[in-house]
């Protein structure tokens, strides 16, 4: 088709419409050439999607498109889907999810519904998020103690291979001992043989994985991501991997040792972890949500027997 269009010229003896008929080319296709998307446009939309998803991780491509339209951007759903895939995102609503395990990897059941977390090292969990840089994205993984909200270990990587997740969990186990339950999502990094193998070295440790479409199964890590992005990454706008690594290290030190946490009675995670008082967590089978004073969703546990 491209070759045939190149045959059409501005010869006045033969109108363009006749030329198109002769070579069987639709005349309207000559005048409505689509403009290629500018890399800068995509970069801007990636930033906006990143920020919106951090606030509302349950938004899928349909809602995300409407948000962008309201902000004044003309964009179709296919483009939004492409950009969300580029970021590795999927809405946390029931339905298809791009965070899928390898088909040959075992998926473990979710063990935390209705379980009250009453002490440090009872439940740890992990996840992966993305940190934007001018030239692209870097991936961040971290491990958090549910009782105290203490961030135990973290790693950055320019790829989604399992190795940086394994290094992170090995560091946490080496520094803080072995939790009773270790929870993750069903992503291939966490279902891989090498990651599961690192956990199975400890016979007392039980492995748990989020249920598909359960937006709050890993809510404490989601809150950590929102905190680090809105309180540091978006404000600082790091330009290099080195600057990002230094900035994240400083923020997590602040998060653990200085920043008061409302859910901990304005104590720090380090204080709660060390004293084993003032913390706690629970994900119920049935829950409602309300907004706390800092805008974060609070899980309201309904009376029920423990799972």
Q: How distant, in Å, are the alpha carbons of 188, 201, 208, 264 from that of 159?
A: 13, 26, 24, 34
How many domains would you assign to the chain?
A: 3
Residues 178 and 58 placed together within one structural domain of the fold:
no
Residues 7 and 43 placed together within one structural domain of the fold:
no
pTM > 0.85:
no
208 three-state secondary structure? strand
Residues 15 and 70 placed together within one structural domain of the fold:
no
229 vs 287 pLDDT, higher one: 229
Closest CA to 168 of 196, 194, 143: 143
Closest CA to 139 of 89, 191, 173, 207: 89
Residues 152 and 297 placed together within one structural domain of the fold:
yes
**Overall average pLDDT of the 175-197 stretch:** 94
C-alpha angle 48/136/171, rounded to 5°? 105
CB 148 within 8 A of CB 205: no
Residues 128 and 266 placed together within one structural domain of the fold:
yes
Residues 128 and 193 placed together within one structural domain of the fold:
yes
Look-up: residue for tokens 């790091």? Answer: 238
Q: What per-residue confidence (pLDDT) applies to 297?
A: 41
| Cα–Cα distance, 273 to 258 (Å, whole number) | 14
Please state, for a pLDDT cut of 90, what percent of the chain lies above it: 46
Enumerate long-range contacts of 76-80, CB under 8 Å, 24 or more apart.
Answer: 79/37, 79/45, 80/45, 80/49
Residues 69 and 120 placed together within one structural domain of the fold:
no
Q: What per-residue confidence (pLDDT) applies to 305?
A: 30
Q: What per-residue confidence (pLDDT) applies to 70?
A: 87
The CATH number of whichever domain residue 282 belongs to comes to 3.30.420.10
Residues 196 and 281 placed together within one structural domain of the fold:
yes
Residue 213 clears pLDDT 70, i.e. is over it: no
**Overall average pLDDT of the 286-294 stretch:** 45
Domain that holds residue 159: 116-301
Residues 139 and 247 placed together within one structural domain of the fold:
yes
Q: Is residue 136 part of a domain?
A: yes
Q: Is residue 199 part of a domain?
A: yes
**Overall average pLDDT of the 30-48 stretch:** 66
Q: Is residue 271 part of a domain?
A: yes
Q: Is residue 104 part of a domain?
A: no
Q: How distant, in Å, are the alpha carbons of 97, 109, 160, 283 from that of 214?
A: 11, 13, 22, 11
| Cα–Cα distance, 91 to 61 (Å, whole number) | 7
Residues 159 and 13 placed together within one structural domain of the fold:
no
Beta carbons within 8 Å of 82's beta carbon, 6+ residues apart: none
Residues 144 and 284 placed together within one structural domain of the fold:
yes
């Amino acid at each position: 088709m491209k070759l045939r269009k190149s045959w059409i010229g501005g010869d006045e003896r033969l109108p363009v419409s006749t030329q198109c008929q002769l070579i069987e080319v639709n005349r309207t296709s000559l005048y409505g050439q689509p403009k290629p998307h500018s890399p800068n446009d995509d970069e801007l939309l990636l930033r906006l999607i990143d920020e919106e998803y951090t606030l509302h991780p349950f938004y899928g491509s349909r809602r995300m498109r409407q948000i962008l339209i309201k902000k004044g951007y003309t964009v179709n759903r296919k483009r939004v889907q492409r950009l969300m895939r580029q970021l590795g995102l999927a809405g946390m609503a029931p339905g298809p999810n791009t965070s899928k395990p390898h088909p040959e990897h075992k998926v473990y059941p979710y063990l935390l519904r209705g379980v009250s977390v009453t002490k440090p090292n009872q439940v740890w969990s992990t996840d992966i998020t993305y940190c934007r840089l001018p030239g692209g994205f870097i991936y961040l993984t971290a491990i958090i103690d549910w009782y105290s909200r203490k961030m135990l270990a973290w790693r950055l990587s320019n790829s989604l291979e399992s190795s940086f997740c394994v290094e992170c969990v090995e560091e946490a186990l080496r520094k803080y001992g072995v939790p009773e339950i270790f929870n993750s999502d069903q992503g291939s990094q966490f279902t891989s043989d090498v990651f599961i193998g690192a956990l199975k070295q400890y016979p007392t440790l039980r492995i748990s994985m989020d249920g598909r479409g359960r937006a709050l199964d890993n809510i404490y890590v989601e809150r950590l991501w929102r905190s680090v992005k809105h309180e540091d990454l978006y404000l600082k706008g790091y330009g290099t991997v080195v600057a990002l690594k230094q900035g994240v290290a400083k923020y997590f030190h602040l998060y653990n040792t200085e920043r008061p946490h409302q859910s901990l009675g304005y104590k720090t995670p380090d204080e709660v972890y060390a004293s084993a008082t003032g913390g706690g967590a629970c994900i119920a089978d049935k829950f409602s949500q309300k907004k706390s004073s800092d805008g974060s969703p609070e899980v309201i546990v309904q009376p029920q027997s423990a799972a």
